[in-house]
Structure 1
Amino acid sequence: MTVPVPADTDVAAAPQRAGRRKRTITLARTLAVAIGGLVAIAVAAVLAIYWTTAARTTFDLLTTQAEIGVASVEAQLRQHLEPVSNALGSLALMLQQDRLDADDASRFSTILTGALAASPQVNSIAYLTEDMHVRGVSRQPDGTYYSFDNKDDSDRGREALAEAAGKVGSYWGEILYLGDGPHATVLNLRQPVRRDGQLVGVMFAVVTVQDLSKFLARVSSDPSQVPFILYGDDRVLAHPRMAADPPPASVAEPLPRLDQIGDDLLAALWTKGTPVTVRNPRVRIREVEMGDKDEIFLYRKIYGFGPTPLTLGIHVPGDAVGAEVQRVFRAGLAGLAVMVLAIVVGVFVGRMIARPVRAFSDQARAVGTLDFGKLKPLPGSVFKELNEGAQAFNTMLVGLRWLETYVPKSLVRRLIVKGDGEDVVSIERILTVMFTDIANFSGAAERLPAARIAAYLNEHFALLGRCVEAEGGTIDKFIGDCLMAFWGAPEKMKDHAPRAARAALAIAAAMRAENDRRAAVGRPRLRLRIGLHSGPVVVGNIGAPGRTNYTIVGDTVNIGNRLEQLGKVLSRDDDTTILISAETAALLGPEFVMESLGPRRVRGRHGEVEIFRLTGLKPAA
Structure 2
Amino acid sequence: MAGGGKAWRNSGDKASSKRLRRIPIHIALAATFGLIIAVTAAALILALESGRQNTVGLVRDRSERIMDTIVERTRLHLDPARDQSEFLAKLFLDGDLDPQDEAASMSQLRAALAGIPQIAALALIRTDLKQLRVERNGDEVVFRKIDMQTVPGLDDAFEMARRAGRPVWGELVWSERLKQPLLNVRTPLWHERSFLGILLTTVTVAELSRFLADSPAGSDAGAFILLGRNHVLAHAALAHNPQLFKRDKPLPEVSEIGDRVLASIWNTDLEAGAAPFVGKSKSHIVTVDRASYVFIYRDIIGYSDQPWVVGRYLPLDEVGGEVRRLEQAAWLGLAAVLASVACAWLVGYAIGKPIMRLARATSAIRTLDLTAARPLAGSHLRELDEGIRAYNALIATLHWFETYVPRRLVKQLMAQGEQATALVERDVTVLFTDIVDFTSLAERLSASDAAAFLNKHFQLLAACVEAEGGTIDKYIGDSLMAFWGAPELQSDHSARACRAASAIAAAIVVDNRRRRGLGMPPVRIRIGIHAGPAMVGNIGAPGRINYTLVGDVVNTAQRLQEVAKACMTDDDQAVILVSDIVLRSAGSGCPARPVGQHVLRGRHEATNVFRLGPGE
Normalising by structure 2, we get a TM-score of: 0.46
Q: Which has the higher contact order (CA 8 A, sep 6+)?
A: 1
Which structure carries more helix by proportion?
Answer: 2
